[in-house]
Amino acid sequence: MSSLNFQLDQDVPLVADASIIINLNATGAASEIIAALPRPLLVTENACTELEAGSRRGYNDYAQLLRMINAGIISPVSLEGSALALFERLVDGTSGQTLDDGEAATIAYVSTGVAIPVLDERKARRVCAVEFPDIRILSSAELLIDRQVAEHVGQVRQVELIMNALKIGRMRVPTELVEDISVLIGDERAAQCSSLPRRIRARASS
């Protein structure tokens, strides 16, 4: 099973896209999870703006994010220089490469060399892999199955938090982690999660 404890300086922070914040909020224990992570968590101002727009449609992720920022749990960051130039290229590119502002800003911030990207969406992960082939891209699922998070919340509660992210946040799980997540939550629970691949749900149902 994956863990954030890979061979990189643990002082290097994570920079999360808006979808990651949504999934963490969906668990019902975002602050607790972030506090248990072995690395600081950042979010770009562009991702903040994206979540703020969602608040006008009745979502409360921005309000929850603001509370975590004010509590010092998450730190907002802005783009400058070459990172800003990369952001502009990513949002103005061809239709096959263009990303939304939050995703593009998260990837662009990685060019500063001081953060590890946390992305869930396939296109964003693909573009990030092209731009930074030597950088490991993390996901919401990896944050939730991290060893230190598991030790902090306990296995039973960890499963509950993952289920919340899957069912409420509709968390997308990268292909390479689908089996890990399915084994962790069990077949019966996996069958309830429409955000998991159909083959997993069908196998669980049978």
Domain ranges for the chain, please list them: 14-140, 152-205
Q: Looking at residue 55, what is its pLDDT?
A: 86
By the 10 Å C-beta count (0-12 exposed, 13-18 middle, 19+ buried), 205 is classed as exposed
Q: Looking at residue 45, what is its pLDDT?
A: 96
Q: pTM above the 0.85 mark?
A: yes
User: What would the mean pLDDT of 98-124 be, rounded to a whole number?
Assistant: 92
Contact, 26 vs 61, CB < 8 A? no
Q: Looking at residue 206, what is its pLDDT?
A: 60
Q: Give the CA radius of gyration of the chain.
A: 16
Judged by average pLDDT, the poorest of 66-70, 74-78, 179-183 is 179-183
pLDDT higher than threshold 50 for residue 8: no
User: What would the mean pLDDT of 64-89 be, rounded to a whole number?
Assistant: 95
**E strand intervals along 55-129:** 74-77, 116-118
Nearest to 118 by CA among 195, 154, 172, 162: 172
201 to 33, 157, 165: CA distances (angstroms): 27, 22, 16
Look up residue 148 and give its amino acid. Q
Q: Looking at residue 200, what is its pLDDT?
A: 81
User: What would the mean pLDDT of 149-177 be, rounded to a whole number?
Assistant: 93
- Mean of all residue pLDDT scores within the chain: 89
**pLDDT grade, residue 119 (50/70/90)?**
very high
User: What would the mean pLDDT of 137-157 be, rounded to a whole number?
Assistant: 92
pLDDT higher than threshold 50 for residue 11: yes
pLDDT higher than threshold 90 for residue 167: yes
Domain 14-140, CATH class in plain words: alpha beta
Q: Rounded to 5 degrees, what angle do the CA atoms 119, 147, 155 make?
A: 105
pLDDT higher than threshold 80 for residue 123: yes
95 to 85, 92, 99: CA distances (angstroms): 18, 9, 9
Q: How far is CA 150 from the centre of its chain?
A: 17
